[in-house]
Amino acid sequence: MFHRPSYLSNIEKKAVIYRFWEKDTSLWAKDLEVQKQIKDRLGWLDVIPKMREVQEEIEGFAQDVRRRGIKRIVLLGMGGSSLCPLVLSQVFGPQEGFPILKVLDTTDPDEVENVARSGSWNSTLFLMASKSGTTVEPNALFNYFWPLLENEVSDPGSHFVAITDPGTPLEKLGNHHGFLKIFLNPSDIGGRYSALSYFGLVPVALLGVDIGRLLQRAEEMVSKCGQAMPLDKNQGYMLGEFLGEFGVQSRDKLTILADSPIKPFGLWLEQLVAESTGKETRGLVPIVGESTGIPGFYGGERIFVYLRIKGIQEKDSLQSFVSELREAYFPVYELWLEDLYDLGAQFFLWEMATALASHFFGVNPFDEPDVRRSKEKTGAILDFYRAEGKMPIKFWVDPNSKMHFRASEVLASSMKSLPRAMRDIFNVLPTWGYLAFLPYLPYDPEMEAIIGEMRYFVREEKGCATTMGYGPRYLHSTGQIYKGGPSSAAFLIFTRKREKEYPEIPDFGVSFWHIQFAQAVGDFEALSDARFRAIHVHLPSDYRLGLRDFSKVLSRSVRMK
């Protein structure tokens, strides 16, 4: 049931804020069992005072790590456990004298090997971050790196730290292997709402970032969002109302614009909004990393949020573009940051606004009911490989481009021709829909640029929005809205042939290449089963060349009638 904000009186709006701060779970669900589950996910509302109590402990630990001569922190995590540290490491970078932070939130074999080949083990500290302690990616990464350290250092456990909930398998693993430190996070906080908890603060403290300033800015934002704040000044409610008001009108493409120093913030925001709101065929589709264009090429389903930071010269800002958007009558919401530390305030602001927007959509922002399908498919594919020694996958070979591909069941009639499958997607994809580019490939700026050119071309030619997310990272962030959100979507999944044989992960019976490939296939099959239009393109080992070839197929397909 939709609760359109503009239909509410001021008394009703104040009641929504009151219920929010009183943790009234009926704000998001009527079912009593669901309300109980939500109650165990509202700890983020109280986490800032708790982190203040342990601030000195975190900062002291960071100084101890620095004095120990650690030069590199490698974070093993996925989704909510990794995106806040990834964003803040890109925004702040390591402070002078502190180690660098490498976030390894992938199963790509080349990315894993790059970490193994670079840096000294003696000066490396691994930070395992997982709420449940059962997430397959960090567990596989631990099994891979632990024997390497055992061969190189006398006390490998002292090179590992864990952040997890109390009583998880990861806590037991850390105790068994003598980890240097185990941080036990409050268990009533979901991963995507954990930025201001141990999950977000410990990694950035290790970089030398002043977590006290981050928490101070968050505290200031909490006061600006409280029950006593007037409606027209309550920042959390105003942003939540903006998102909810337009979202319930099917203006569901939330395009994130940001000044360059804070541009990485979109990665965290993308996960929070997509995974919280994208359910029951509704929600906000976050559009991040898209190049700007002429407003006339944007569809009417767009809304924009512009994150601005003071001190940026006008020529380096997006102000002129935003002015053009307003002149074209697009809704634009501007947020000002004093400096980089105001990201602490933005974390809380967006958590509150997203939770309130979810109330207006009539969805539960604290679950992710549609992500398990891909996990189950992936597990079945890997089990088949372990039993049979081969993957249960066959590709068509396009007769002209010679590209290997598969098309989902809804595109079955066009399976043997890649251009025809592409045309079938674009003939049906509406201007208010979106096309997702999902590469299961290394983190590669050149590859991102190639996909960026395709995204720009699709928007200019078809008028529809595009997204881009690395696999398997997106499975833990935007994967929920892809399957549970607005159904006007199509998907392009990319994998690559093995360049070489990769070593088997101890106790897993497969290599990282097999896991990554199975994750791509599992998600493709989940999308296909749900009757989405999806194409899985299997590139050659030179994936950049393969993507350029594919871009030619795409451009011809879009322009053919």
44-209 placed in CATH 3.40.50.10490: yes
pLDDT at site 482: 96
pLDDT at site 312: 85
Is residue 489 within 8 A of residue 535, CB to CB? The reply is no
Residues of the chain predicted below pLDDT 50: none
Give pTM, 2 decimals: 0.96
Would strands 404-407 and 396-397 be described as parallel, antiparallel, or unpaired?
antiparallel
pLDDT at site 479: 95
- CA 512, CA 501: separation in Å to the nearest integer? 10
- CA 517, CA 538: separation in Å to the nearest integer? 10
Burial of residue 374 (CB within 10 Å: 0-12, 13-18, 19+) is buried
Is residue 199 within 8 A of residue 80, CB to CB? The reply is yes
Q: Residue 455 phi/psi, 5° resolution?
A: -60, -45
Question: HSE on the CB side for 86, CA within 13 Å?
Answer: 23
Residue found under tokens 């990769």: 502
pLDDT at site 372: 87
- CA 362, CA 359: separation in Å to the nearest integer? 5
- CA 557, CA 100: separation in Å to the nearest integer? 44
CATH homologous superfamily of 5-27+227-361: Glucose-6-phosphate isomerase like protein; domain 1 (3.40.50.10490)
pLDDT at site 1: 60
pLDDT at site 313: 81
Domain limits, CATH 3.40.50.10490, in the chain: 5-27+227-361, 44-209, 372-559
pLDDT at site 148: 97
Nearest CA-CA partner of 258 in 266, 250, 247: 266
Q: Which fold has domain 372-559?
A: Rossmann fold (3.40.50)
Q: Residue 286 phi/psi, 5° resolution?
A: -75, 130
Token pair for 161: 């730290």
- DSSP assignment letter at 298: S
Q: How far is CA 30 from the centre of its chain?
A: 29
pLDDT at site 415: 62
Could you give the C-alpha distances from 91 to 64, 86, 153, 464, in angstroms and in order? 24, 9, 32, 30
